[in-house]
Structure 1
Amino acid sequence: MKNEKCTNDNPSPERTLIMPIAADKSEYKTRLPRVFLIAEDGVMHCIRALKSLNLSRYDHIYITILRHLDEKYALTERLILQFRINGITNAEIVVLDQPTTSQPDTIYQTILQKDIHGSIFVKDADCSFCGDDTIGNAIAIYPLEELDWVNPKNKSYVSVDDMYYITNIIEKRIVFHFFTAGGYSFESADTYCRYYEQFRQQPGLYLSHIIYSMLLDKHTFRPVLTKEYEDFELKFEKK
């Protein structure tokens, strides 16, 4: 059933960045999720994932976390301190009472809770890159061969045609030259909600599934070639 809060005939021009960090893994019972760890320079990894972007482009920035992890590890207090230290003034923390089924679900719950309309930019917390997003539908990409070391099973891959449009996106299979760099732009939060609602019962749901369905329905997505891509998970594995 469609949730009426995800419907708006006159969406506002506001731009919103959403960083979903609501995974609920068994190891989090005994250790802090690694994206909340602080590097040697004093910057939390998920904040580093934000700082490489031009945050002044967004009216709102929401980092979504789980309540029981917030209470266990004081995540709200840690994040607020990081906002202040790093001069991020337009960020807010969204706390979910229950774990979500997937990253797309976390994004959806954030949209509902904050009544978001207009364009959204979804930023993964476990990587950083330099480059601008667009107010339209787009995916941040990076060429696979530019990385010295990569875990290919953790990526999704996109095909780009000669006119510089994305024509396909596939999860966990190296079939194209570019992989997604952890940034996804949707022209309309309302459209995102409608497509999510079609797939909400599907197990193992990724953003790539929603985007692929939108591509089949003739929604166009542009690739945004990024620079200085850094995968934090690879850094953690090296330690």
Structure 2
Amino acid sequence: MAGDTGRTVTVVVPAAGRASRSRGPIWCRRRPDGSITLEAVIKPLGLAHVARVIVVVLRDHVDSHCGGDAAGLTQYLATKLGLGTADRPVDDKATLEVLALENETADATETVCQAIERCGIDGPIFVKDCDGSFPHVVADDDHVCVLPITSESVTSLHDLPSKSFADECGGVLTNIVEKQIVSDLACVGGFGFASAAAFQRAQEKVRAASNSATRAGNGPGRVFTSHVALQMLVEETVFRVIKVPTFEDWKTAEAWAANSQQYKNVLMHLDGVLVRPKQTWLAAAIREMADQPASLAPHFEPIAENVAAFRAAVTSVKSARAVVLSSLSEASRPAVAAMLKEFNIPCDSLVLGCSAVGSTFLLAHDTLHIQPHAAGSLTSAVATPSA
């Protein structure tokens, strides 16, 4: 899709490691919102200049987690992300591909090089780690994505000594160091390279030096993407430094747990708490047996202070989902949904057929511990159900 469309970049997501840092491979872990991490890695990226998105995984992970169906995984991700595939292209959209490697690679840069060779990648590439997420418009030049460390942003970064850090002057990279805190610019796992071939050449030079150091007992043997960028920087390649506004980190089990805590379900009963019935509600219920009203709004009135409290509770949490419970029947769902919209009541999930009484929830968190919680922490701040 490159050429006339202006799409020249290939995004490569290397995920062919052995997942030693957490339970199972990170790329297919289920997030609190129901998505898998690969969706969260790719979705915030602006892909207007991207022709292909190539995800590189291990064959045995596809076998154990996807029933061996790499084509099915490809279509699943493409559908979730609104992208095309080689078999089912979508007009004016990048295509998504899954490359399943038989053998584990030494590190992410070797994974990228295998993708370049096996998938025939030419031109600019953007290397995106699979253990974090951030918004970024992918460009076709050499650039490094960083998060400025502030008192607010530092809470989204975990295990700082494990990250790479960059120095810049006037928006241009002057130094990049792996696993040393040398500045307030933390690299977030997004690197642009104007040439896939240049990336390969630099990676080979760093690999050769790393192998020599390993044989001498003086090096770790792994080549990070920051090492490749540093090699190209030494060779006078100019990298732009792109400061991203936010970053989600799930590199370690601790980071995953902390990130999961940002997601909350805020539950509230509708009947007698958010709305109260008017005298005509029974007539509406009777008519429901014959024909469905477009909205139940004419037969209920909002309880303004409770609606305001519910809305405030939802907006106070970064990734909250508003869940509304009601004793109204499933058949009335369209009319209830229309009423909620008319009364400006937030609702991401509408659960019908629930009695308008106290509730007890058993919550299974990521730690797999079952914790009983009595409903009412929110309703303590608002009026109790009315008749």
TM-score class, shorter-chain normalisation, is: 0.7 to 0.9
Provide the residue aligned with 1:8 in structure 2: none
Alignment equivalent of 1:221, drawn from 239, 254, 265: 239
1:26 Cα deviation from its structure 2 partner: 5.7
Larger Cα-atom Rg: 2
CA contact (8 A) 1:13 1:118 kept: no
Inter-CA distance 82–42: structure 2 relative to 1 (3 Å threshold): farther
Mapped pair 1:23 → 2:17? yes
1:78 Cα deviation from its structure 2 partner: 4.1
Letter in 2 for 1:169: I
Inter-CA distance 27–136: structure 2 relative to 1 (3 Å threshold): closer
Q: Higher relative CO (CA 8 A, sep ≥ 6), structure 1 or 2? A: 1
Provide the residue aligned with 1:36 in structure 2: 28
Alignment equivalent of 1:113, drawn from 98, 110, 118: 118
**1:45-93 deviation digits (Å, cap 9, x = unpaired):** 1211110011232100000011122112227334532321332221110
Q: Secondary structure at the match of 2:140?
A: coil
Provide the residue aligned with 1:134 in structure 2: 139
The size of the alignment, in residue pairs, is 225
Provide the residue aligned with 1:197 in structure 2: 204
CA contact (8 A) 2:50 2:138 kept: no
Provide the residue aligned with 1:174 in structure 2: 181
CA contact (8 A) 1:140 1:181 kept: yes
Provide the residue aligned with 1:152 in structure 2: 160
CA contact (8 A) 1:132 1:224 kept: no
In structure 1, how many angstroms separate the alpha carbons of the residues matched to 2:139 and 2:194?
A: 8
Mapped pair 1:230 → 2:238? no
Q: Secondary structure at the match of 1:84?
A: helix
Provide the residue aligned with 1:54 in structure 2: 46
1:214 Cα deviation from its structure 2 partner: 0.9
Where does the alignment leave 5 or more consecutive residues of structure 2 unmatched? 1-5, 85-94, 211-220, 259-365, 367-387
Provide the residue aligned with 2:58 in structure 1: 66
Q: What TM-score does the superposition give when structure 2 sets the normalisation length?
A: 0.55
Percent identical residues: 25
Letter in 2 for 1:18: V
**Which moved further from structure 2: 105-114 or 70-79?**
70-79
Q: Secondary structure at the match of 1:142?
A: strand
Where does the alignment leave 5 or more consecutive residues of structure 1 unmatched? 1-11
In structure 2, how many angstroms separate the alpha carbons of the residues matched to 1:204 and 1:19?
A: 18
Q: Secondary structure at the match of 1:148?
A: helix
